[in-house]
Amino acid sequence: MSALDLRTLFVAAISLAALAAGAFWLTHKRYPSTPGPGEWAGAHLLFAIASLLAALRGHVWDGFSIVLANSCWVFAYGLLAYGLRRFRGLPANATLLMTLPTALTAVALLLLWLPQDLLNLRSVLMSLVLGGQQTFILYDLRRSRPAVRTTTETVLGAVLLCSVLSHAGRILVTPWDTTAPPFFAQGGLTSALMLWSMLLTCGLILCLLTLVTDRLQADLSRLAARDPLTHLLNRRAFRAEAEREISDAVRNKLPVTLMMLDLDHFKALNDRYGHQGGDEALLRLARILKSELRQHDLAARYGGEEFCVMLPGTGLAPAREVAERLRRACEEESRHTRGTTVSIGLTLLPSGPESLNRALKAADQALYEAKRNGRNRVEVHSEPIAGIPASHA
> What DSSP letter does each residue of 18-56 carry, written as one string?
HHHHHHHHHHHHH-TTSSSHHHHHHHHHHHHHHHHHHHT
Nearest to 233 by CA among 122, 126, 307: 307
Do 306 and 286 form a contact (C-beta atoms < 8 A)?
no
Q: Which amino acid is present at 101?
A: P
Strand 378-380 relative to strand 342-348, pairing: parallel
Say which of 153, 245, 305, 379 is annotated catalytic. Answer: 305
Task: Give SS3 for 347.
Answer: strand
- For residues 47 and 79, the answer to whether their CB atoms sit within 8 Å is no
Name the DSSP class of 179.
-
What is the Cα–Cα distance from 348 to 40, expressed in whole angstroms? Answer: 53
Residue 153 falls in the annotated catalytic set: no
How far is C-alpha 317 from the chain's CA centre?
39
Q: Quickly count: other Cβ atoms within 10 Å of residue 160's Cβ.
A: 23
Active site residues: 305
